Amino acid sequence: MARLADGRQLIYYDDGDGEPGARPVDSRELPELAVASELRYDPLVDEWVAIAAHRQGRTHLPEVAECPLCPSRNGAKTEIPAADYDVVVFDNRFPSLAADVGELPAGDDDMVPRQPGIGHCEVVCFSSDHNGSFAQLTPTRARTVLEAWADRTIELGLQPGIEQVVPFENRGVEIGVTLQHPHGQIYAFPFAAPRTARMLTTARSYRRRTWRNLFADVLAAERKAGTRVVAENEHWTAFVPAAARWPVEVHFYPHRQVPDLPALSDAERDAFCHLYLDVLRRLDRLYDRPLPYIAAWQQAMVNVDRDLSYLRLELFSLRRATDKLKYLAAAESALGVFINDVRPEDVAQRLRDLAD
Amino acid sequence: MARLADGRQLIYYDDGDGEPGARPVDSRELPELAVASELRYDPLVDEWVAIAAHRQGRTHLPEVAECPLCPSRNGAKTEIPAADYDVVVFDNRFPSLAADVGELPAGDDDMVPRQPGIGHCEVVCFSSDHNGSFAQLTPTRARTVLEAWADRTIELGLQPGIEQVVPFENRGVEIGVTLQHPHGQIYAFPFAAPRTARMLTTARSYRRRTWRNLFADVLAAERKAGTRVVAENEHWTAFVPAAARWPVEVHFYPHRQVPDLPALSDAERDAFCHLYLDVLRRLDRLYDRPLPYIAAWQQAMVNVDRDLSYLRLELFSLRRATDKLKYLAAAESALGVFINDVRPEDVAQRLRDLAD
């Protein structure tokens, strides 16, 4: 573990057991971080919202020579002091949540409780190659990324107040990615994310009725039907959910119920990497151009409902045709009603046909 | 009430009591509508999703001369047979839900119940002027639109199976609007929209604890604090909610608890139009360019919880700066955690300062 010039933490994860290259100190002069995140409780829907006004000035699609996620070489001084790296994880310079967010400003509304925006926002660089992508990683490298996710899940779960850890990747300018270097993020929240909380509520209700696990039964039904399965191996199945919200949506479930990434066996870790790389490459062939997507791990909360939880990755894209995106307009954004213009069975069939 | 060539319903609403112009019949040859909407139940979150594959081919940003929402004149034959109109409401040609959606295809997954996509999707043209906008309407015309919304709320609520009626406007190509002519829509759902259901659950819990109405208390707290109030008159207040999810978000509450639009008094209807037009014009001055926005009425369900409900309009925009949009990436889309880069008090102050 190293520290950047402004005190942020940075960790290198290497592919092999070989000697890593030089790891120089960060010699930049960086202004101190000023994070002013605040959580406000929305009493209408019983959910927390983060207000993070300091993020308005964050770096936005810099030129390649200015990329802060490339290694520091040829005179450039970036977020990563080393001249090369395999995988690196460090604290986001413009975090939505942080360990130290200063004093909570006074509120003026008893209906809307407030809390300091405590949490963690980390950046995970998948490769030092600016023009790479997750789909282009070797299985070895994908495994190093998975090890980093699992390691950070443990470490962040031990930090004060943290209730949920979520590794994810936003990919593509179409969904607002502000840096094009291949990278993901890890958020650690001091509460259950609304979608996660919702799924745990339904899983609890399902277990009360059936004595069974909801996610295991969803997986079993998809494997039995087969019409929406995209690919599978001994340990994992990738399928388009029957009630998919997005024109392209693929969920990755392990065949064994485990609560989180650290609980995966060595064989399950390798099997995930092979299946995920296979499906990602099909997704980039779907429209003959890199697919913008969001991929997020749903794993167990740190402290509660671990017995109900079932680790899985949810990936989806708003691209509904080569030249068209799905927009979230009033139905989705104001009402929560998703209208999907693509039949899940059709996109699953297309993805099956795109096998190597 | 008139019928279009393919049997869809069309209704003219006029500003005054004067004699309307000629209302010719629709002389186009239109192919029969083929709507294949299906509702699928997502067991993970206890919500319905609409699968509407026939919408993939819908009209997308046509040239002005081809605009289907302009009146039929100068040889053009559009969706509106008349040579001019004030306000007109008609069935969408590419509906997400419809009264007749044919037979439900067989499902293959017991975990995901299915239903035919029964419902109604109507288009509401606010003006025959292609280049107009809601903000540019006269108060008289805004009132005619409100009368149309109230009338359709009653009529659609009487249709078989309908549980919720939602008038809304999507405005701006930035949120995916496919027709630029000033118009809104009305959706009639056979279920409670997830966001509405959620708010009724919290309102029920709040009443059990306090014997009070949640929405009335939220309004009272905002009026007392004052820091987020944008504008108000005798009957309505417009404010930025304290836990706003969006960089620009304004809610319009009547001062009296009414369940839906038809329950508004004459004075309340006029007062809404004046306040709404005032605030819409400020919103277009916020970034010195037309603001893309979503505006949706939250009104009572047709059959249940009418005593808990409180009519209001929720308006929001994803524009977070003159040249920047907010995107819903993993935090919002995969987890339901909204991160707002703009303090609600700041945008409320700016909107107060933009008064005429």
Strand positions, DSSP E, A65-151: 87-91, 114-116, 120-125
Read off the tokens for B147: 């009368």
Tokens 């700066």 — which residue?
B321
What kind and span of H or E run contains A316?
A: strand A312-317
User: Do A195-353 and A2-191 have the same topology in CATH?
Assistant: yes
Burial A261-293 (b: 16+ CB within 10 A, else e): bbbbeeebbbbbbbbbbbbbbbbbbbbeeebbb
A-chain residues near B56 (CB < 8 A)? 320-321, 341-342
- Taking the CA of residue A71 and the nearest CA in chain B, the distance in Å comes to 26
Q: Do B243 and A53 touch (CB under 8 A)?
A: no
- Taking the CA of residue A2 and the nearest CA in chain B, the distance in Å comes to 27
Strand bridging mode B312-317 / B248-254: antiparallel
Touching check for B204 and chain A: CB below 8 Å?
no
Torsion angle of the four alpha carbons B37, B43, B45, B46, in this order, in degrees rounded to the nearest 10: 70
Strand bridging mode B47-52 / A339-340: parallel
Burial A139-171 (b: 16+ CB within 10 A, else e): eebbbbbbbbbbebbebbbeeeebbbbbbbbbb
Q: What confidence tens digit (pLDDT) does each residue in A85-109 have?
A: 999 999 999 899 999 888 888 888 8
For residue B295, give the chain A residue with the closest CA. A330
Q: Determine the pLDDT at residue A59.
A: 67
The number of beta carbons lying within 10 Å of the beta carbon of residue A43 is: 24
Q: Determine the pLDDT at residue B16.
A: 87
Burial B311-337 (b: 16+ CB within 10 A, else e): bbbbbbbbbbeeebebbbbbbbbbbbb
A183 is catalytic: yes
Tokens 């983060």 — which residue?
A50
B-chain residues near A343 (CB < 8 A)? 51, 53
- Taking the CA of residue A335 and the nearest CA in chain B, the distance in Å comes to 5
The total number of residues shown for chain A amounts to 356
Q: Do A242 and B107 touch (CB under 8 A)?
A: yes
Pick the residue of A49, A210, A337 with the most B CBs within 10 A to test the interface with B by mutation: A337
Q: What confidence tens digit (pLDDT) does each residue in A38-68 have?
A: 999 999 999 999 999 877 766 666 777 789 9
User: Which B residues 112-131 touch A at CB under 8 Å?
Assistant: 112
B-chain residues near A104 (CB < 8 A)? none
Pick the residue of B166, B251, B322, B337 with the most A CBs within 10 A to test the interface with A by mutation: B337
**pTM, 2 dp:** 0.96
Residue spans of the domains in chain B: they are 2-191, 195-353
Instruction: Quote helix, strand, coil % in chain A, to nearest 5.
Output: 30, 25, 45
**Distance of alpha carbon A70 from alpha carbon A65, whole angstroms:** 9
CB B351 within 8 A of CB B247: no
DSSP code of residue B331: I
Burial A56-80 (b: 16+ CB within 10 A, else e): eeeeeeeeeeebbbbbbeeeeebbb
Tokens 């001994």 — which residue?
A234
pLDDT tens, per residue, chain B with 356 residues: 899 999 999 999 999 877 787 889 999 998 888 888 999 999 999 999 999 987 776 666 677 778 999 999 988 899 999 999 999 999 999 899 999 888 888 888 899 999 999 999 999 999 999 999 999 999 999 999 999 999 999 999 999 999 999 999 999 988 888 889 999 999 999 999 999 999 999 999 999 999 999 999 999 999 999 999 999 999 999 999 999 999 999 999 999 999 999 999 999 999 999 999 999 999 999 998 999 999 999 999 999 999 999 999 999 999 999 988 888 999 999 999 999 999 999 999 999 999 87
User: Which B residues 284-343 touch A at CB under 8 Å?
Assistant: 294-296, 314, 316, 320-321, 324-331, 333-343
> Which residue in A320, A245, A325 sits closest to B177, CA to CA?
A325
Residues paired with A40 in a beta bridge: A49, A114
User: Which B residues 49-78 touch A at CB under 8 Å?
Assistant: 49-53, 55-56, 60
Per DSSP, the three-state class of B305 is coil
CB A39 within 8 A of CB A116: yes
Read off the tokens for A16: 């092999």
The three-point CA angle A54-A56-A61 to 5° equals: 125
CB B180 within 8 A of CB B132: no
Q: Is the pLDDT of residue A344 over 80?
A: yes
Q: Do A48 and B110 touch (CB under 8 A)?
A: no
- Kindly report the CATH class assigned to A195-353: alpha beta
User: Which B residues 256-285 touch A at CB under 8 Å?
Assistant: none
Read off the tokens for A326: 């799905």
Catalytic residue among A120, A181, A183, A251: A183
- Taking the CA of residue A22 and the nearest CA in chain B, the distance in Å comes to 34
Residues paired with A39 in a beta bridge: A50, A115
**CATH code at A2-191:** 3.30.428.10
Q: Determine the pLDDT at residue B60.
A: 67
Read off the tokens for B125: 């043209």
A-chain residues near B44 (CB < 8 A)? 199, 202, 214-215, 218, 241
